[in-house]
Structure formats: structure tokens, C-alpha cells
Amino acid sequence: MSKIALIALAGACGTLCRYWLSGLVYDLMGRDFPWGTWAVNIAGCFLFGLVWIMAEERGFLSAQARILILTGFMGAFTTFSTFIFESGGLLNDGQWLKLALNLAGQNLVGFAALYLGTGLGRIV
């Protein structure tokens, strides 16, 4: 099986896990707050950190397995974990301005893009 096909398969698994976990949390906690998304994003950050260390520092995972898990599975499970991981890199490097721009920028521009997208959707 090709590398692309394996990443796609891992992505499908990540999508299904996201659906399952968020649904389970919503069933347990209710839908008055986005607890399901919160749980997925926090779990994704934890898993991303665990896999990264297991691959990069401990050598327990090959580069191919790391790509399969972090790009395929985690890419479909949550992109929030990548956002936090990259922000952590900026923090570790002491790039405070870039860190602030990344944290504030993605959130503010994301809200603006959502607003523009919903506005466009209402007029087409």
C-alpha cells in the first residue's frame, strides 16, 4: 500500500475517533457547551505530545510511523493539536512576538473568516 493511501486510512481512523469521542462526551455532558470538541482538542494535544516524544526522543517510533500517526490520524482527529504544538515551538525558541501573533492571529482571523464565510453563505 502506498504512503498516501496509508495516511488516508489513518485519517479515516482519526475522523471516526473524533466522531466517537465527541459524541460520547456530548452524550455524557450535554450540548450546552462544546465539551465534545474541547475533549477532542485536549486529547489531541496530549496524544500529539506523547507520539512526538516517543518518536523523536525515545526512538520507539519510526519516522514513517510518526508521519502516519501525526499527519494522518491526528490531522483528521484535530488540527488544534498541531496549532498548540507549533505555538509551543515558538515558546521554546523564545519567539514571543511570533507566539503572540500565532495565538491571537489564528483565533481572531479565524473568527473573521467564519463571519465572512457565513455572510457569503447567506447572500449566495
Rounded to whole angstroms, the Cα distance separating 36 from 25 reads 5
Q: Is 90 exceeded by the pLDDT of residue 27?
A: yes
Predicted local confidence at residue 81, as pLDDT: 84
- Of the two residues 79 and 107, the one the predictor is more confident about is 107
**45 is a domain residue:** yes
Q: Which of 55-64, 68-77, 89-98 has the lowest mean pLDDT?
A: 55-64
Q: Tell me whether residue 90 is exposed, middle or buried, using C-beta atoms within 10 angstroms of its C-beta: 0 to 12, 13 to 18, 19 or more.
A: middle
Q: For the chain, give the mean pLDDT.
A: 92
Mean pLDDT of 34-61: 90
Q: Is 78 among the annotated ligand-binding positions?
A: yes
Residue 103: inside a domain: no
How many domains are contained in the chain? 1
In a domain, 40, yes or no: yes
Q: Alpha carbon of 56 to those of 17, 23, 39, 52, 79: distances in Å?
A: 24, 32, 25, 6, 20
Q: What proportions of the chain, in percent to the nearest 5, are helix, strand and coil?
A: 85, 0, 15
Q: Which domain holds residue 46?
A: 3-79
